[in-house]
Amino acid sequence: MVVASAAALLLAQAASSAPAPAATPPAPPPKTVPPAQSDRCPPPSTDGSVIIVCAPKQDGYRLNPDVMEAKREVRSGGRPVRPGGTIIPDCAHVGPAPCMSAGINLIGVALTAAQMAERLAKGKEIGSMFVTDPHPSEYQLYVEAKKRREAEEEEKAAAKKAREKKAAQQQQQAATPPSAGN
């Protein structure tokens, strides 16, 4: 009992002599920056309390047209396929087809390994050999759409440059008088 009262006395002294936690000053409210002009960014602040995000305004579409075209192609899915169109003649499926193979096709394994070795020797990739779903992914469709758009833009730019060159030649011929060389 004496020990318990002594322990209570020590705890009471420790609690009364503990310093009070210091009050932390409240954080200053964030400064507001007036909207900057659209053609230039304001100079950065020196105190570091203001974050300024400045980026050029983009012209044109808000959504990337290549991504939208790829999504359209994914949704279209191409021509519908009738379910159950092909019969797979192997022992893994139940049905009227007989069991066609009795184990691993060792010749096919050897040919695949030889083809892999040949591709690796040439420095080519081998991942495409193991594709089980031949349908392109949305990213692959995006890349194809981007390539098509860039090719169209290059064709238009080349045609415009050719027209300008032809017009400049015609102006130059019209500006020079024909010479009388008889």
State pLDDT tens for residues 130-180.
Answer: 877 777 888 888 999 999 999 999 999 999 999 999 999 999 888 887 665
Range of the domain at 123: 106-132
Mean pLDDT in residue range 36-62: 72
Q: How confident is the model at residue 42 (pLDDT cuts 50, 70, 90)?
A: confident
- Note the pLDDT tens digit of each residue in 48-60: 788 888 877 777 6
Structural domain includes residue 65: no
Residues with Cβ within 8 Å of 139's Cβ and at least 6 positions away in sequence, in order, are: 70
Residues 127, 140: one domain? no
Residues 140, 170: one domain? yes
Structural domain includes residue 96: no
Structural domain includes residue 155: yes
Q: Would you state the pLDDT for residue 54?
A: 83
Decide: 91 and 101 in contact? Cβ < 8 Å: yes
Residue with the bigger pLDDT between 41 and 83: it is 41
d(CA 63, CA 83): 36
How many structural domains does the chain have? 2
Residues 124, 149: one domain? no
Total length of the chain: 182
Mean pLDDT in residue range 16-20: 53
Decide: 37 and 54 in contact? Cβ < 8 Å: no
Query: How confident is the prediction for the chain on average, in pLDDT?
Result: 75
Structural domain includes residue 152: yes
Q: Would you state the pLDDT for residue 37?
A: 47
Which phi-psi region, left, alpha or beta, contains residue 110 (left: φ > 0; alpha: ψ -120 to 50)? Answer: alpha
Decide: 69 and 144 in contact? Cβ < 8 Å: no
Structural domain includes residue 58: no
Residues 128, 140: one domain? no
Chain centroid to CA 172: 49
- Note the pLDDT tens digit of each residue in 104-114: 788 989 999 99
Residues 164, 148: one domain? yes
Structural domain includes residue 159: yes
Mean pLDDT in residue range 87-104: 62
